Amino acid sequence: MTATDQTLPANVVVTGASGWLGQNLVRALAGERERVRCLVRTDDDASLLSVVGPTIEPVVGDVRDPAALDRLFEGIGSASVFHAAGVIHPVAKMRELFDVNVGGTQLTLDRARRASVVRFVHVSSNSPFGTNARPTDRFNEDSPFDPYLGYGKSKMEAEQLVQRSFDHGDLETVIVRPPWFYGPHHPARQTQFLSAIRRGRFPLVGDGTQQRSMVFTGNLVHGMLRAEVAAAAPGRAYWIADAEPYELSDILATITRALAAEGLDVTSRSPRSIPRLGARFAETIDRFVQGTGRYVQAVHVLGELNHSIACDISRARAEIGYDPPTALFDGMREAIRFSLANGDAL
């Protein structure tokens, strides 16, 4: 806290609390707030979070359900909201992206306004801004929207709703824009990613000089907590990432070193190489498939790997005091230790 920060709210509402980011955030909040009201999807999720600490108050429901959100905000009093609920990879239809990321955001904003919350921190993404034209380019807060496919469009529309709520005087809002993140409490897809790298099966697209910003979940939580209280933050948006972008080839090499540092046998083979033309073909297929309302995760990921997606965190450093302490090697070691402790097959 600094002299210009607002008073730390005793009560907090978290949507998406049982997700990858949500679990990290709730654990950071549990020891310092009186009430942490958490929206979770299932009774099992509620049980998982309840053991974190006595301040955790799970509410089972869906962010698309007005009744669930009524229960979430009921009697919460003066509180901050961290809106982390969202769909990145839809299970079946593309419509899910817009129902959750846009519709769920609108419902959460409405309930937050009625509850007179003190600040609404919205978790966005890099995807509303597309990809960098050159590896040396960096997105900043003045970059124009240029959404990358369906997920990017849904997160762009959500950002616009949040900003409109601030502009109309309904809520004190802040938008944080994390890129590709990593860290403990990750889902099965991240375990598969680590396992593929360990075995030399994860593809290196082109020469691997694409630049990618990434963010360790601990760094992201730090940025979100700073956005919650910093005096300069209301009405603003901030890129929240690790200190510097990484080249794709360095990402794969660093994760391989982290796996070895945790005592795992790793392949001596070079990563499987895929020509950029192959990734561009995958992106063409992805666009076509999404245009039919469907989604294939592997095709989407391969197409996106061909691009640089990097950002500049200077504004977050200057305005909200964001200072990311963890870089890729140490952060990946934490993620790997979580997987091993969880019994995951790496």
In the structure encoding, which two tokens stand for residue 136, read together? 């040396």
Q: What is the mean pLDDT of residues 48-71?
A: 96
Q: How many domains does the chain have?
A: 1
Q: Is the pLDDT of residue 214 over 90?
A: yes
Amino acid letter, residue 198: R
* pLDDT at site 31: 87
CA distance 344 to 307: 30
Place of tokens 């210009």: 4
- Decide if 99 is inside a domain: yes
- Decide if 298 is inside a domain: no
Q: Which domain holds residue 148?
A: 11-185+215-242+311-324
CA distance 40 to 19: 8
Q: Confidence class of residue 65 from pLDDT cuts 50, 70 and 90?
A: very high
Sign of the dihedral through C-alpha 122, 59, 219, 334: negative
Q: Is the pLDDT of residue 218 over 90?
A: yes
Average pLDDT, rounded, for the chain: 95
Q: Is the pLDDT of residue 229 over 60?
A: yes
Question: Which of the residue ranges 9-18, 33-42, 264-273 would you say has the lowest mean pLDDT?
Answer: 264-273
Q: Confidence class of residue 59 from pLDDT cuts 50, 70 and 90?
A: very high
What pLDDT, in 10s, does the model give residues 231-260?
999 999 999 999 999 999 999 999 999 999
Residues 6 or more apart in contact with residue 176 via CB below 8 angstroms: 121, 122, 123, 124, 220, 223, 224, 227, 237, 238, 240
CA distance 199 to 7: 49
- Decide if 75 is inside a domain: yes
* Residue 136 belongs to domain with CATH number: 3.40.50.720
Q: Is the pLDDT of residue 165 over 90?
A: yes
- Decide if 269 is inside a domain: no
CB-based contact 176:223 (threshold 8 Å): yes
* pLDDT at site 1: 55
CA distance 193 to 200: 11
* pLDDT at site 255: 97
Q: Is the pLDDT of residue 146 over 90?
A: yes
- Decide if 263 is inside a domain: no
DSSP state for residue 127 in the 8-state scheme:
G
* pLDDT at site 206: 95
Q: Confidence class of residue 6 from pLDDT cuts 50, 70 and 90?
A: confident
Q: Confidence class of residue 2 from pLDDT cuts 50, 70 and 90?
A: low
In the structure encoding, which two tokens stand for residue 297, read together? 């995760």
Q: What is the mean pLDDT of residues 10-32?
A: 96
CB-based contact 38:71 (threshold 8 Å): no
- Decide if 232 is inside a domain: yes
Q: Is the pLDDT of residue 222 over 60?
A: yes
- Decide if 276 is inside a domain: no
- Decide if 204 is inside a domain: no
* pLDDT at site 92: 76
| pTM of the full structure | 0.96
In the structure encoding, which two tokens stand for residue 125, read together? 């993404």
